[in-house]
Amino acid sequence: MAPPIQFEALAEDALLLRFGERIDADLNDRVHAAMACLCQRLPALECVPAYASLLLRFDPLAWRGPHGEPGHRHLQAAVVDALDGHAAAAGASREVRIPVCYGGDGGPDLDDVAAHCGLRRDEVIACHTAADYRVAMLGFAPGFPYLLGLDPRLAMPRRADPRQRVPAGSVAIGGSQTGIYPDVLPGGWQLLGRTPLRLFDARRATPALLAPGDRVRFVAIDAGAFAALATERDA
């Protein structure tokens, strides 16, 4: 039996639902299923998923008590009622293919990852592109996807000396996770390669390329294809 959800009031307009305390695919499934259910049954809420928690933003005036009490207790009761017997699996998700040029200047840690994992470079690339990932959440920076599904053979600790500037589009491993840097940022993850796709662009109608719940597949490309796609992106 799944442990009960813990509720925590974070602000007058924010309620946090805690499903657990670890990075775990099953826990993240519960988070996304609950979000799908609440988006259907309580559509006025803003739902923001994380690995093992779900943040609800709400209008405090709409949920306050009859004597002006904060609305967290009323909202909590509504959430419990909405999820009771209704938290089915989340709906169908998009599959997004991300082209990646592995190694070279864009993937300076590929050899270190291969050595750490006892694999050849081509085996690391094959393992990384074979997996079916899911966007567990967005965080750290706008558009940064935390992806579940990394082959356990590729798990590797973060760098002891984080870089001050990681190039935008860098595809990286941090522990048992993989992710993509949406902009030039500091970071300590192991860099495998780069994608020419722009992960976040405030000028787009939907700024973030990826959304929580999306499925991701990485596709290896060469330097020529990277340059062509980058030129097309910037045209």
Backbone angles phi, psi at 76, to 5 degrees: -60, -45
DSSP conformational letter for 108: T
- Tell me if 31 sits within 8 A of 52, measured CB to CB: yes
pLDDT of residue 16: 97
Q: How large is the average pLDDT for residues 153-176?
A: 96
Question: Is domain 95-234 annotated with CATH 2.40.100.10?
Answer: yes
Q: How large is the average pLDDT for residues 132-155?
A: 96
Residue 190 has pLDDT above 80, yes or no: yes
Q: Which two tokens stand for residue 183?
A: 């902009």
220: left (phi over 0), alpha (psi -120 to 50) or beta: beta
Residue type at position 117: C
The tens digit of pLDDT for each residue in 22-46 reads 999 999 999 999 999 999 899 999 9
For domain 6-83, give the fold: Gyrase A; domain 2 (3.30.1360)
pLDDT of residue 44: 93
Angstrom CA distances, 216 to 115, 146, 181, 199, 203, stand at 26, 11, 15, 13, 23
Residue 235 has pLDDT above 80, yes or no: no
How far apart are alpha carbons 57 and 16 in whole angstroms?
9
Q: Which two tokens stand for residue 181?
A: 């840097």
Residues in CB range of 134: below 8 A, 6 or more apart: 25, 28, 93, 147, 148, 149, 213, 214, 215, 216
- Tell me if 111 sits within 8 A of 120, measured CB to CB: no
Three-class secondary structure of residue 40 per DSSP:
helix
- Tell me if 170 sits within 8 A of 114, measured CB to CB: no
Determine what percent of the chain is predicted with pLDDT higher than 70.
Answer: 96
Residue 88 has pLDDT above 70, yes or no: no
- Tell me if 143 sits within 8 A of 124, measured CB to CB: no
All structural domains of the chain with their residue ranges? 6-83, 95-234
Model confidence at 70, pLDDT cuts 50, 70, 90, reads: confident
